[in-house]
Amino acid sequence: MDQVNSFESPTTVRLHRTEYLAGLAVSLGFFIAHIGDVRWLPAIILFVYIDLIGYIPGAIAYRKSPDKRISKTYYVLYNTMHSLLTQGLVIGLWVLISGWEWALLVIPIHLCADRGVFGNFMKPFALPFEPVANEEFAKLSQNLFATPGAHARTTSSLVESGQ
């Protein structure tokens, strides 16, 4: 993916997810190392509220919708609640108001697990709320990424045809 082509190859998706798995490992490591200092009620609330606000309402609406089209509001809620920026602000406000505590690590644990383990990133409006294979993207991916050099052949065939 680059600034002109906003999609990723299977390899770059794996690399991207691996970075989040590393963040998950670090967050879990600190969390486990300080497990005796964790206040569990805030930890549970901080872990769960992200999906209570950002995922569950959209998932319910999606499952109830006969055509699987739901309001963009659900996408905005998901993307806002699963944003590193939003959750960084939550952590920052928590620290300013109450001070640092180890329970705050459940936020990066949640986000890094979503991205690294489950492959859930931001939800674009153009796709269904729940993962569904897109035929056009599958064809593009097959053309670009299926075989080594496919991009070069595709590019040169486009140049030869005048496109």
The vertex-106 CA angle with 70 and 23, nearest 5°, equals: 95
Asked whether residue 138 carries a pLDDT value surpassing 70, the answer given is: yes
Query: Could you give the percent of the chain with pLDDT greater than 70?
Result: 89
3-state secondary structure (DSSP) of residue 153: helix
The alpha carbon dihedral of 13, 125, 60, 138 has a sign of negative
Residue whose structure tokens are 């569950």? 56
Task: Return d(Cα 58, Cα 77) in angstroms, integer.
Answer: 8
pLDDT for residue 124: 94
Q: pTM of the full predicted structure?
A: 0.84
- Under a CB-based contact definition with an 8 Å cutoff, are residues 130 and 124 in contact? no
Joined together, the tokens standing for residue 24 give 């998950």
DSSP secondary structure string for all residues of 89-116: HHHHHHHHHH---GGGGHHHHHHHHHHH
- Under a CB-based contact definition with an 8 Å cutoff, are residues 42 and 101 in contact? yes
From residue 68, give the alpha-carbon distance in Å to each of 53, 65, 129, 130.
20, 5, 8, 9
Asked whether residue 150 carries a pLDDT value surpassing 70, the answer given is: no
Mean pLDDT throughout 67-90?
Answer: 98
pLDDT for residue 39: 98
pLDDT for residue 58: 98
Asked whether residue 148 carries a pLDDT value surpassing 70, the answer given is: no
pLDDT category of residue 137 using cuts at 50, 70 and 90: confident
pLDDT for residue 102: 98
Q: If phi over 0 gives left and psi between -120 and 50 gives alpha, with beta otherwise, what is residue 99?
A: left
Mean pLDDT throughout 116-139?
Answer: 92
pLDDT per position as a tens digit, 26-77: 999 999 999 999 999 999 999 999 999 999 999 999 999 999 999 999 999 9
Asked whether residue 22 carries a pLDDT value surpassing 50, the answer given is: yes
From residue 118, give the alpha-carbon distance in Å to each of 18, 37, 50, 85, 144.
11, 28, 15, 20, 24
Asked whether residue 154 carries a pLDDT value surpassing 50, the answer given is: no
Of 35-39, 95-99, 107-111, 158-162, minimum mean pLDDT range: 158-162
